[in-house]
Amino acid sequence: MSKKVTGVGGIFFKCKSPAEMRAWYSQNLGLATNEYGSLFEFREVDNPDKKAYLQWSPMEEDTNYFEPSVKPFMVNFRVENIEALVEELKQVGVTICDEIETYDYGKFVHILDPENNKIELWEPVDEVFTQTNEGETS
């Protein structure tokens, strides 16, 4: 079995005004925000020299990104070997919402839990964030 969640990769939630929400969290809790929310850097337990990231994002309340879930939030889990994981989840009857999509910062797929909460699974390429945050790429 290759099922392996390595951590939380992101927290996404609906709100009336993402810009106001980002400003409030920045002013009151000190989050360094941008147009997407805030990116939290941490170190991997098994490899402390490696940086990893968690995305916090307030989103428009009318976003359809969480569909088919009707919940006002979505959690993103960092995973390893997303292709094998998806095959194992299919074999046990987990609802897979879409195909695996690949970007320069990782691979993504969405699933539903038993109460129809949409979950985003992400096999990250943290090096893209490291390079961007250190000014090595644009």
> Which stretch of 3-12, 64-73, 77-86, 128-137 has the lowest confidence by average pLDDT?
128-137
Asked if residue 68 belongs to a domain, the reply is yes
Asked if residue 138 belongs to a domain, the reply is no
Q: What is the CATH number of the domain that holds 44?
A: 3.10.180.10
User: What's at 20, amino acid-wise?
Assistant: E
Asked if residue 28 belongs to a domain, the reply is yes
Asked if residue 77 belongs to a domain, the reply is yes
Asked if residue 121 belongs to a domain, the reply is yes
Give tens-digit pLDDT for 39-79: 999 988 888 888 888 999 999 999 999 999 999 999 999 99
**For 70-96, b where at least 16 C-beta lie within 10 A, e where not — what string?**
eeeebbbbbbeebeebbeebeeeeeee
132 has pLDDT over 80? no
pLDDT category, 136, cuts 50, 70, 90?
very low
Asked if residue 120 belongs to a domain, the reply is yes
Cβ atoms of 33 and 57 within 8 Å: the answer is no
Range 105-108 contact pairs with CB under 8 angstroms and sequence separation of 24 or more: 105/129, 107/82
Query: How confident is the model at residue 50, as a pLDDT?
Result: 85
Asked if residue 66 belongs to a domain, the reply is yes
The structural domain count of the chain equals: 1
Instruction: Find tokens 């994002």 and name the residue.
Output: 57
Containing domain of residue 120, as a range? 5-133
